Structure 1
Amino acid sequence: MRQLKGKVKESAREKKERKKEFQENKEKAFTVALPILGVAFLFLVVFVYLKTRPPAASMSI
């Protein structure tokens, strides 16, 4: 029977390797993206805090 155009059927070994690479990339995403997002969130919190606090002159007793 004639092969239709499209994706070539992958072997079990290729499928296993692809799944392993996907899992490794997923783990790398957490080790890289989470610290970056954490630092960005921290900067946002500090920025909002500094912009919304009252001026230093009115805080004196």
Structure 2
Amino acid sequence: MRKLKGPVKETAKQKRERKQEFAKMRQQIHTVVLPTCAFIFMLICFYVYVKTRPTTMQYA
């Protein structure tokens, strides 16, 4: 039997599974990655705020 040159065509089932996995990854981006990035950004902002706020001077 001869071997065909080029990539193997994917079946309809494989294509459907690949699309489902892609949709699942896209949903994970919205439910896991974005909130995590937002939390890290808030921590950085809080740290910068605390380090740069003016300190009260006490005169003795």
Fold shared by both chains (TM-score > 0.5) = yes
Q: Which has the higher helix share?
A: 1
Post-superposition, which runs of at least 4 consecutive aligned residues in structure 1 deviate over 3 A? none
Kindly state the Cα deviation for residue 2 of structure 1 after the two structures are TM-superposed. 4.8
Matched, 1:18 2:18: yes
In the alignment of these two chains, the number of paired residues is 57
Structure 2 residue runs of 5 or longer lacking an equivalent are none
Structure 1 residue runs of 5 or longer lacking an equivalent are none
**Counterpart in the other structure of 1:39:** 39
Q: State the one-letter code of the partner of 1:30.
A: H
Q: Residue deviations 1:15-41, cap 9 Å, x none?
A: 011001110111012211011101111
Once residues 45 and 35 of structure 2 are traced to their aligned partners in structure 1, the CA distance between those partners, rounded to angstroms, is 15
Normalising by structure 2, report the TM-score.
Answer: 0.79
Q: Percent identity?
A: 39
What root-mean-square deviation, in Å, do the aligned CA atoms of Structure 1 and Structure 2 show?
1.8
